[in-house]
Each structure stands twice: as C-alpha cells, then as structure tokens.
A = this chain, B = another copy of it.
Amino acid sequence: MNTEKNTRDSKKESPKGVEKRKITPRKNNRNRSHNNKGRGRGRNHTNKVNHRNTKTHNKQPIPEIQGNDVRVIPIGGVEQVGQNMNIIETKDDIFVVDIGIQFSSEEETPGVDYIIPNIKYLLERKDKIRGVFVTHGHLDHIGAFPYIIDQLGYPTVYCGLLTKWMIDKRNAEFPHLKSLNYEIVEAGQRITVGPNNMKVKIFAVTHSIPDAIGFSFETTEGNIILAGDTKLEHVDTEPVQREKDAYGKLERDDQKNLLFLSDSTGAEQMGWSKNEADIIENIIDMIGEAKGRVFLGTFASQIVRITAIMEGAHAHGKKIVLEGRSMKTNVDICIKSGRWVPPKGLIISADEAQNHAPDKLVYLLTGSQGEEFAALMRISTRKHPKIKFTDRDTVILSSSVIPGNAKSVRKLKDNLARNDLRIVEYQTSEIHASGHGKQDELLWIEKTVGAKFFMPVHGHLSMLKAHMHAVMDKNGVAKENIIIPENGSIIDLNKDGFKVHKAKAPNNVTVVEGFRVGDIQDVVVRDRKTLTKEGIFVVIATIDPKTGKMRKSPDIISRGFVYLRDSQELIQGARNLVKQSITKNTKGKNPVDFDTIKKRISDDLGRYLVQNTGKRPIIIPVVLGV
C-alpha cells in the first residue's frame, strides 16, 4: 500500500465545505390523525405505546450534484441490520448496490411482513440508473427485488453466478415479474458500465455464501468501495493471501481510494471471528464419531457450510437427508447453478433413510431458531410425518440465537430435551461462526483498503459508532474523515472532502404487509399494539333518532379483553351503564346528537372498565338511529 497516496492526516486534508452533521434525537411527531370517532378512553393508553422510527418528511429540497462530485446515499441498512441498499451517483449515472429486506419484529412492527428500502429517490431519477450491483445472495441484500425491480424498470443486474440463481428463486414467487437481465461477474474483473464508461472493479470477499463480492466504483474523484458482508479467513489472526490480494489491490494506478463503506454487524465484538473452515471441521468430526443419527440444524443461508458438511459426511460414508423447504431449495440451487456437484447417491429422501443404519445418517434441517413450522420443531414435537427422534440421536444446533429469537430457541430446546437426546450448542462447542467479521478483522480490512474517508454501514447506530471508535482509536483515522450516516443521508464527495446535506432522500419506513407495499401506517401498528395488550370492546346501541329511545338492549362484542363467559356481571354492568348514558344524553333533545352520545359512552365505559378490570381496551361505541 502506498501510504503517500493515502495520507489521512486530517489537518492537512481538512475537507472543504464539510458540514458537521448534528445527530439529534429522533422526533415522533407524525401524529397522523384518523377517523377516530368514538375512540374515547381507549386512546389514553396510546401514550404507553412505543412509537416506531417513523421519520418526519424532510422538506429541504435535494441539491443538484456539483461538477464531478460523487454522491453516496445509504438508502437503508445504517439504522438496522437488513434493508441494505446503497446508491452511488454521479452527474450522469446512478448505480444501485443491493436491494435487501429487513425482517419485521412482532414486537416493534406487529403484522408487518418485511421492511424494504424506500426507493422514491430512485424513481425520480429512474433514467440515470445504469445497473443494480449485488454483493451476495442473502435476503437482506436481495430480498426486496420482487417489490422494487419492476418499478426501477429492470436495469441490468451485475452479480455472481449463485447470486443470480438466488435472485431468480426469490422472484419466482412473483409471477408478474419479467425475467431479469443479468451480467454475471467474477472477482478480479474490471468491467465498464453505462454510456459514460464507469469502471467497476470486482473483488472477492469471504462470507457464508459463495460468490460474495465487493465493488470498487472508479470515479474521477477516486474509488468508492463497497465490500458487502465480510469476514476474513485467517491463520491465527493472519489473513490468508487471498484476502490480502482482494483488499490490497483496490487502487487504480492514477487514483486513490476515496471512500470505503464497511460492514459493521460484528463491530461491537472484540477480536477475530472463528474460521468457517474450523467450524466445518469440528462438525464433520462430530459426524464421523457419531454412533447414531446426527441432526444438524443451521441457517439455510449458510451455503458454504452446508455443502462442505455434505462432502465431509460423504467422506465418512454417511448419507444426507435434507429437511425444510429453504434447505432443499438452496442445495438445489447450488447444484443447478453448477456451483456444487454432489457425490452420487449422497442425498437421499427421508423414506430411503429407513434402509440405512442410524450411524450412517445425517439430517440437515431448517428451524434452528425455533421456527414453529420448520423441520426441527415439528420433529421435536412429534408432528413430523416421517422422522421421529430417539434417545440415540444427536442434535447439533449450528447457529447463533438471532436477537428476538431467544424465546423460540428456548422452546425448541425444551422440546428437544423432552426427546431425551443429546443437544450440542454453539455456546459450548465450536460449531458456529458468524459470516460477519469481528472488530479486529474489520480493522485489518479498513487499514488494508486505506481509503481517505470511511463510512461504517450495515448495522444499528451503536454498531456504526463502535466501528467508528475502533477505527479512530486503533487505526488512527481522524473523526472528521468518518461519516456516520442515517437512512437517506445524502453525501457528496470529491477528492478534497465531503459534504453531508441537510436534505435527505425520502426515508419513510416502507413495509410489505400481506399484498400491500407502502408507507408504514403508524395508527394501524399502534392499534395492533394496544389490541394485543388490552383488547377491544365494541358496544352497539340502536335508538330511535327522534325520541332517543333505545330499541333494544345494547349488544356488546369484545375480543382480547376479558373472557366474556366468566364476566357476565361486568358485561351486565357495562350494558346498564350504556343505557343510563344514552338516557341521560338524549333526554329532551330532538334530534339527538349522536356524536355526543358516543363520546359520553366512551368516557363512561372507559372509566368503568379500567376501574373494574385494570385494563384499557380500545372502546368503540356504535349508535345506530333506526
């Protein structure tokens, strides 16, 4: 590495026109009012509800790109894990890197399937898009393709071979989509893209799926480098030559590396991650020594591990049974794409397994996160039609517990424990390593790339900051040369410096929910959170609109609040209360004022219910004049 080219003394190269970004606490002032008639006391507890990260719409106009400046916008993936999408833009061209989803959390966004990148900025500049570049085939980098690629007008997709197959598989469930126009690239290539001949260098990175690559966009101002998700293969913390070659040769002869966007997922963890090769060896050893069947639960996305273990099992004379749809599909893709050729007769069906001795059988299964309908859980609860556990089986859970899954993994383990088999876990045995490098790996990568400016991406703010502090404290990068972005931040760079604009690309949270794709509907999400804790209470009264006289006793419907059958007294009390409320508020009034009646019912009922139950359900009074 030529250190002269990469001087990072911030005092010498103090970037001009840099505006220090002020990070202020998020505001939640998008208090969208809605058709709230008769909501009543039910509202009171909405202030107990956790507002989600919805953004205020930025009213600042988005500035034009000046001269040869390069614009970088992390559309998603810098305030969360997932939803990854970055934009690299020049005056004439736009290059999109990755189109990923974020899995929704039942706790934060109940009822939402996925969160996807907001592409409003791209749609307004659709003609400039020269291609979509995909680092690898995991859902947090390709999962939003089916919701977005059509709107983007099907630009050419640049990616590795396996990545193409993964995208096609993802899109296959959306029959309205046209087939994509791919350009398959390989590490080491330097390709030319678009009418303005952007040179893009492709380099290999280590991740848990084959064909993972990084891109270096060689702009006139310098290289913009994105490595995707990365870890390092190393021998006792010395990266192997392949890694040195990949990250050490990213410069063009006449230009510098201007900006490096680097994965922060593992930045909060100290040291080096375990080598995937060691993990695989440990698991294959266990398989070799097993006297009974081995059930290996792992992420279907761990394609490097899965294929290597199958080969290891083969070497031990064992047969493989695949269980779980995504496991079968991903192995199928590896084979069909030609990325992996299975030894003949290695993979057998669950039925065929009955003809083999238990110590010759290895099952690869989905469900190590305790997913209710995945293979591992169904076998453990004896709901699987073909596979039953015995006390001579060994279950290897070759995966970590993803945040938010602690309870479901605990449930799985309890169910497995009921089968009296042996459980091997990653906490006690070296049988899982993340595909994301830990802090010391990330530091080595940053140092080796040696770009002038540094932008941690892929992670929550606390991960980005941990990455920033590490790069400052241990690699000596000046704070002024580090950019901590938010989703939608617009950063314009040239060789002299960078500017983070006040204006942001549209960044409202965009969700997929059933068949709907669009803005998150705060009010609906808020109602769901209330419904789950307090329930709903609907009261229906029919009155003569002229006299206000009730035509019949009010109907009461409730769900998720109390068990009605055990609460006859409470319900009767509520009914009487409603009758009194209506009588009082219609007396002497002609015509009766429905809004007032409803409001009063809500208030009276809310008070009555909380006093008698301690709960504050959503109350909906319906008063019909018939």
Contacts and interface: CB of A to CB of B under 8 A. Distances in A.
Interface of A: 23-26, 34-35, 50, 79, 105-108, 110-111, 268-270, 372, 381-382, 403-404, 406-407, 410, 413-418, 420, 423, 425, 427-428, 460-462, 464-465, 513-516, 521, 523-524, 527-529, 531-536, 538, 540, 542, 551-552, 555, 557, 559-566, 612-615, 618, 620, 622, 624, 626
A25 B107 contact: no
A418 B461 contact: yes
8 closest residue pairs by CB, A with B? A514-B614, A403-B406, A532-B532, A531-B531, A413-B462, A528-B560, A521-B563, A515-B614
Contacts of A528: 531-533, 535, 560
Nearest to A271: B428
A111 B563 contact: no
A286 B420 CA distance: 46
Contacts of A626: 542, 551-552, 624, 626
A407 B372 contact: no
Contact of A538 (B110, B533, B557): B557
Given A515-B614, A563-B521, A407 B542 contact: no
A111 B560 contact: yes
Contacts of A428: 268-270
Contacts of A423: 462
A405 to B, nearest CB: 8
A563 B110 contact: no
A34 B613 contact: no
A546 B615 CA distance: 40
A450 to B, nearest CB: 26
Contacts of A533: 106, 110-111, 528
Nearest to A528: B560
Contact of A535 (B24, B372, B420, B531): B531
A407 B105 contact: yes
A23 B391 CA distance: 12
Contacts of A555: 622, 624
Given A532-B531, A560-B527, A25 B381 contact: yes
Contacts of A464: 417
Given A107-B106, A268-B425, A527-B535, A23 B540 contact: no
B531 A560 contact: yes
6 contacts: A23-B420, A50-B372, A107-B107, A516-B614, A528-B560, A542-B626
Nearest to A614: B514
B268 A514 contact: no
B615 A514 contact: yes
Contact of A403 (B269, B382, B410): B410
Given A25-B381, A107-B106, A542-B626, A427 B269 contact: yes
Nearest to A420: B23
Given A417-B462, A420-B465, 18 more contacts: A34-B564, A34-B565, A35-B564, A35-B565, A50-B372, A106-B532, A107-B407, A110-B533, A111-B534, A268-B425, A270-B428, A413-B462, A416-B462, A521-B566, A523-B563, A524-B561, A524-B563, A552-B626
A134 B536 CA distance: 40
B461 A414 contact: yes
Contacts of A615: 111, 513-514
Contacts of A24: 418
A524 B531 contact: no
A560 B461 contact: no
A524 B516 CA distance: 28
A247 to B, nearest CB: 25
Nearest to A512: B614
A622 B552 CA distance: 14
Given A414-B462, A563-B521, A535 B111 contact: yes
Given A106-B532, A527-B559, A25 B418 contact: yes
Contacts of A620: 538, 557, 559
B105 A532 contact: no
Given A111-B532, A559-B618, A624 B418 contact: no
Given A372-B50, A524-B563, A552-B626, A516 B613 contact: yes
Nearest to A24: B418
A462 to B, nearest CB: 4
Nearest to A34: B565
A622 to B, nearest CB: 6
Contacts of A268: 425, 427-428
A406 B612 CA distance: 34
A523 B415 CA distance: 23
Given A527-B559, A532-B110, A403 B407 contact: yes
A462 B407 CA distance: 13
Nearest to A564: B35
A292 B230 CA distance: 36
Contacts of A534: 111
B107 A560 contact: no
A500 to B, nearest CB: 16
A626 B269 CA distance: 68
Contact of A460 (B410, B521, B562, B614): B410
A148 B360 CA distance: 55
Contacts of A403: 406-407, 410
A50, A111, A460, A540, most chain B CB atoms within 10 A = A111
A93 to B, nearest CB: 34
A513 B532 CA distance: 13
Given A407-B404, A515-B612, A34 B417 contact: no
Contacts of A418: 23-26, 461
